[in-house]
Chains A and B, each alone.
Chain A
Amino acid sequence: MNRAISWMAAASGVSGLVFLYLALIWSPPEQQMGDLVRIMYFHVASAWTGLVAFFVTFLAALAVLLRNRPVWDVVSASSAEIGVVYTTLTLVSGSLWARPIWNTWWTWDPRLTTTLILWFLYVGYLLLRATLAGVERRARIAAAYAVVAFIDVPIIHLSVTWWRSIHPSVVDDTGFHMPMAMAGTLLFGFLAFFLWYLALLGLRVRGALQAMQLLQLGETIRRLHVRADLGTDRGR
């Protein structure tokens, strides 16, 4: 696992640097927004990575409910944490893009609002996990919550068609609405962010498994202490 994470980290680093070159230098400026359009590459790639992370959380949560294996709970929680990080970055970078384009840091647009709700839902998921006692009980309750919370993801996607929205929809069911150079940069950005996501997931899952190992060792030490105490009592 260590070697896979190292390779993934190296690939993430290289693809991240190439993506920076493509986004900041190679891709053309847009006619109306000029260089500001380059924010899109970071903003959209973060948003997609967050959504992928929540999709993995959803699948792992289903696996917890159907198979009841602890490793899926670890994957679900790890992916949700990464999803919250990327959704936070999406909201902040979106705000930095909205200020010069819409002349406001925030507006209660359907897509922005549903994304903020998504952020609250998964912060709630992480808080819920922190408050539940019992490994198996926590896994099952958190999994049920994660499955229900995922309903917001398709709502975010459809929000621009269901309600009146000023949020641009650069990618929809009909394809990319931008020149090839920009679409290529955006796709490469998503690939780079996806590699980062995989490396982070590997690192986070490994940490969680080590934490479980620590708990087991703690239990072993407690048992050995009890045995040592019994031995001392018999000796008296």
Chain B
Amino acid sequence: MSGMQHLGYLWAACTVVWGGTLVYVGYLVRHQRRLEAELDRLQALVQRLEETAPGSRGTGDPATD
């Protein structure tokens, strides 16, 4: 087997290991961003609901709250 072929297998293995790791990092980072956006959205919703719900600290009147 030629030296060029050897180098081909070497680069393929190197690409698989590092490429695989980077793809997984990308997946985790994208997943995290989605979670953070969803958390922000829900926290804003909870705050809004707490202000308007009966028995909450607010009066429920948008004019005075």
Contacts and interface: CB of A to CB of B under 8 A. Distances in A.
Interface of A: 16, 20, 23-24, 34-36, 38-39, 42-43, 46, 82, 85, 88-89, 92-93, 96-97, 99-100, 196, 200, 203-204, 206-207, 210-211, 213-214, 217-218, 220-221, 224-225, 227-228, 230-231, 234-235
Majority secondary structure, A binding face: helix
Residue of B21, B32, B45 ringed by the most chain A CB atoms within 10 A? B21
B50 A224 contact: yes
A200 B46 contact: no
Nearest to A199: B25
Given A35-B7, A231-B55, A225 B49 contact: yes
A46 B14 CA distance: 11
Interface centre among B7, B17, B31, B50 (most CB of A within 10 A): B17
A234 B54 CA distance: 10
Contacts of B5: 100
With a 10 A CB-CB cut-off, give which of A96, A220, A235 has the most chain B CB atoms. Answer: A96
Contacts of A210: 32, 35-36, 39
A36 B9 contact: yes
Interface string B17-30: 11011001100110
Contacts of B49: 221, 224-225, 228
Contact of A16 (B9, B18, B24): B18
Contact of B13 (A43, A206, A230, A235): A43
A153 B44 CA distance: 47
B9 A97 contact: yes
Nearest to B24: A85
Contacts of B25: 200, 203
A56 B2 CA distance: 42
Contacts of B31: 207
B59 interface: no
Contacts of A213: 39
A186 B51 CA distance: 59
A85 B46 CA distance: 37
Contacts of A217: 39, 42-43, 46
B10 A89 contact: no
Contact of A231 (B14, B16, B54): B54
Given A92-B16, A203-B32, A221-B42, 9 more contacts: A20-B18, A36-B10, A89-B16, A89-B17, A207-B31, A213-B39, A214-B35, A214-B42, A228-B49
26 contacts: A23-B14, A38-B10, A38-B14, A39-B13, A42-B17, A42-B18, A43-B13, A43-B17, A89-B17, A93-B13, A96-B16, A99-B9, A100-B6, A203-B29, A203-B32, A206-B32, A210-B32, A214-B38, A214-B42, A220-B46, A221-B45, A224-B46, A227-B53, A228-B49, A231-B54, A231-B55
